[in-house]
Amino acid sequence: MTILFALAATLAAPNPAPTAPQSDDDKFRACLTLVDKDPEAAIAMAGQWRVSGSLIMARQCLGMAYAATQRWASAMTAFEQSAQAAQANQDVRAAGLWVQAGNAALAAKDAVKARGYFDAAIILGTLKGAEAGEARLDRARALVATGDFPRARTDLDAALGLVPEDPLAWLLSAALARRMGDLSRAEQDIAEAAKRAPDDASVALEAGNIAAMGGQVEAAKTAWQAAQRLQPNGPQGQAAARALAQFTPPPTPDAAPPKP
């Protein structure tokens, strides 16, 4: 009898008011919140969402969640699929998504795919101003990684015109000039990078490399010591330590004790 009364009470109870369905924008914001707090949960949410919602936004969030867990190859694929969907729908977000795919590919150490993704972003012609400059800068990184220095120089020069206050653009330009044997350009550009990022270990490391190329050993040592001080346990500091070791004489062995 108790069970019947409970069932009757349930049937008689008014239905709760239906909640408004979440828009894709709401889902995207919720997914991004999960990316910061629980990337695995964001991956699961994006996977379910793409079945019935915006493929563009779901795949973008999926890519960001994979990036948060450093699964770069998976992130690259998710961004690529998001960009393809956006481009097929003539969505203005397509170029930015290609750039995200390119950066994920660089992180995955696939410079050839990265270059293709950046090509796709730039050829659309929708990136303007700083966004265009950063895309050219990113493509230059991919071109350097594939050994295409002349095209990388063209992209870096374009980037410097569009984002002249970005120290990374000057740093990469200086490093490329050094690798191409243009010491004068390398010295000028690393000085510009140092103006904008005086406490950057990467800038100090490259300043040391350029000084060493020009035979300025003491200046090179000073720059490498600065890189070590700025990032003692990071890759730049460790590279600087290896460079300094070239100029550090081996310790003199202790004199043998006199024979009795």
The predicted-structure confidence for 14-27, as pLDDT tens digits, reads as follows 444 444 446 888 88
- List, for residues 100-133, the tens digit of each pLDDT value: 999 999 999 999 999 999 999 999 999 999 999 9
Domain boundary among 102, 122, 139: 139
In a domain, 114, yes or no: yes
- Do residues 98 and 117 make contact, with C-beta atoms less than 8 angstroms apart? yes
In a domain, 205, yes or no: yes
CATH (domain of 64):
1.25.40.10
Q: Considering the domain boundaries, does residue 160 fall inside one? A: no
User: 254 exposed, middle or buried (CB, 10 Å; 0-12, 13-18, 19+)?
Assistant: exposed
- C-alpha separations of 204 from 191, 201, 229 in Å: 10, 5, 10
Q: Is the pLDDT of residue 40 over 60?
A: yes
Q: Determine phi and psi for 247, rounding to 5 degrees.
A: -110, 10
**Which of the residue ranges 2-11, 86-95, 247-256 has the most confident prediction, judged by mean pLDDT?**
86-95
What are 253's two structure tokens? 């062995």
What is the distance between the terminal CA atoms of the chain, rounded to a whole angstrom?
109
pLDDT reported for residue 249: 67
Query: Is residue 211 a part of any domain in this protein?
Result: yes
Q: Residue 64 is encoded by which pair of tokens?
A: 């960001």
Predicted pLDDT at 8: 34
Q: Is the pLDDT assigned to residue 6 strictly greater than 70? A: no
**φ, ψ at 88 (rounded to 5°):** -65, -30
For 66-109, the pLDDT digits (tens) are 999 999 999 999 999 999 999 999 999 999 999 999 999 999 99
Whether the pLDDT of residue 1 is over 90: the answer is no
Query: Which helix (H) or strand (E) covers residue 138, if one does?
Result: helix 129-145
pLDDT value of position 113: 98
8 A C-beta contact, residue 138 and residue 158:
no
Residue 258 domain-assigned (yes or no): no
161 CB contacts (<8 Å, ≥6 apart)? Answer: 133
Does 178 lie in the same domain as 134?
A: no
Q: How many domains does the chain have?
A: 2
Question: What per-residue confidence (pLDDT) applies to 54?
Answer: 76
For residue 130, what are the domain limits?
25-139
Residue 42, H or E segment: helix 39-52
The answer to whether residues 37 and 123 belong to one domain is yes
pLDDT at 248: 72
List CB contacts of 194: < 8 A, sequence separation 6 or more.
Answer: 203, 204, 207
Last residue of a domain, one of 85, 105, 139: 139
Which has the closest alpha carbon to 65: 102, 98, 100, 111? Answer: 100
Residue with tokens 């594939």: 146
Q: Would you state the pLDDT for residue 48?
A: 85
pLDDT of the residue at 176? 98
Query: What's residue 251's pLDDT?
Result: 62
Taking alpha carbons only, the member of 236, 228, 256 closest to residue 248 is: 228
Contact 95, 82 (CB under 8 A): no
- The CB density around residue 9, as the number of other CB atoms within 10 Å, is 9
| pLDDT level of residue 55 (50, 70, 90 thresholds) | confident
Neighbours of 162 (CB within 10 A): 19
Phi, psi of 211 (to 5 degrees): -60, -40
- Amino acid letter, 93: R
Higher pLDDT, 48 or 244: 244
Q: Are 258 and 250 in contact (CB under 8 A)?
A: no
Q: At residue 47, does pLDDT exceed 60?
A: yes
Q: Are residues 170 and 135 part of one domain?
A: no
